[in-house]
Amino acid sequence: MELRRYIFKRLFQIIIIFFVILTILFLLFRLAPGDPVSRMIDPDMTAEDARHLMEQLGLDQPLGLQYLYYIKNFLTGNFGFSFHYGQPVIRIIADRLPNTVLLFTTSIILAAFAGVFLGKIASWHKGRRLDTAMTLGALVTHTLFLPWLALILIWVFAYKLGWFPINGMISEDVWLDPDAGLWFKAIDIAHHMILPMGTLFLIHFGSYLLIMRSSMLETLKEDYILTARAKGLTEKTIRNHHAAPNAALPVVTSVGLSLAFSINGGALTETVFTWPGIGRELVFSVSHNDYPLAQASFLLIAMVVLLSNLVVDVLYAYLDPRIRY
């Protein structure tokens, strides 16, 4: 019951915050200097299509009615048409979002598992050479500048060695070949994913290792660890079954926030590797004044960040009952 009440409380807070963000974004687009119609209507549209879109968005109505139209369109997924693509914005987002989720979810989860595993080993060997080497390696990867690292990997492994494709997500010759089966297409995507996924893995891995190491060192000072040793449990059992699960709580928070900000934070990675995801579309829409697509992208980012925070809070409360009270 306590957990359920906590979930409803946090969900209510998230909904309020999201509608505040929704309102702020509405005001920015409607009250900014200039004509909101010229920002939201493609000048290349025919007069009939422009008039129809104005009616859908409520741009010919007073500001209060425009806000109601805005809320209604958001709830129904009607974000207008992209100026550049000439397609509904919701369709573009639906096409790009799975690519972003595939790349970032895979890389962050792999980095989290590696960071937790090596972080608990480093803490167990505190002050030894293994701990020093792991800590220094994590600090180096954690502080690397992402675009610089991505360009170095492209230059070495794609340009010089030719092991991986330089950019893109697929090879046209594979996907246009009628004899290429689903397995070969999956391998082709994985081949293109290795460099961007490796870049994200290295950037996030160091952070998770350092967080896990620090948390483990604090956990090993707790009384229940001393009790476990007094019971005669092996050091491996104490490390893996008593210390590690409790020490992993801060990593859970970090992973959740990393996944939340991967959509907008991935703009640099997706741009460097020309990966067709939401981050790249966000950069493109802003730089090309594609306002409907930019607005929908910002709303998607806000929604994903808030929902991810909710999931992290609930998971944290589930793992640590003290959070519920």
How many C-beta atoms surround the C-beta of residue 205 within 10 A? 24
Is the per-residue pLDDT at 264 higher than 80? Answer: no
Is the per-residue pLDDT at 166 higher than 70? Answer: yes
Cα-based angle 279, 284, 280 (whole degrees, multiple of 5):
20
Q: Which residue has the tokens 């929902």?
A: 307
Q: How confident is the model at residue 1 (pLDDT cuts 50, 70, 90)?
A: low
Q: How confident is the model at residue 142 (pLDDT cuts 50, 70, 90)?
A: confident
267-305 per-residue burial string, b: 16 or more CB within 10 A, e: under 16? bbbbbbbebebbbbbbbbbeeeebbbbbbbbbbbbbbbb
Residue 233: phi and psi, rounded to 5, are: -70, 150
pLDDT per position as a tens digit, 101-112: 888 888 888 888
Mean confidence (pLDDT) of the chain? 77
Q: Return d(Cα 117, Cα 112) in angstroms, integer.
A: 8
pLDDT per position as a tens digit, 188-216: 788 888 888 888 888 888 888 888 888 87
What amino acid occupies position 136?
Answer: L
The larger pLDDT score, comparing residue 56 to residue 196, is at: 196
Contacts made by residues 1-10, CB under 8 angstroms, sequence distance 24+? 2/321, 2/324, 2/325, 3/314, 3/317, 3/318, 3/324, 5/324, 6/313, 6/314, 6/317, 6/323, 6/324, 7/314, 7/317, 10/310, 10/313, 10/314
Question: Ranked by mean pLDDT, which of 9-18, 139-148, 190-199 comes out on top?
Answer: 190-199
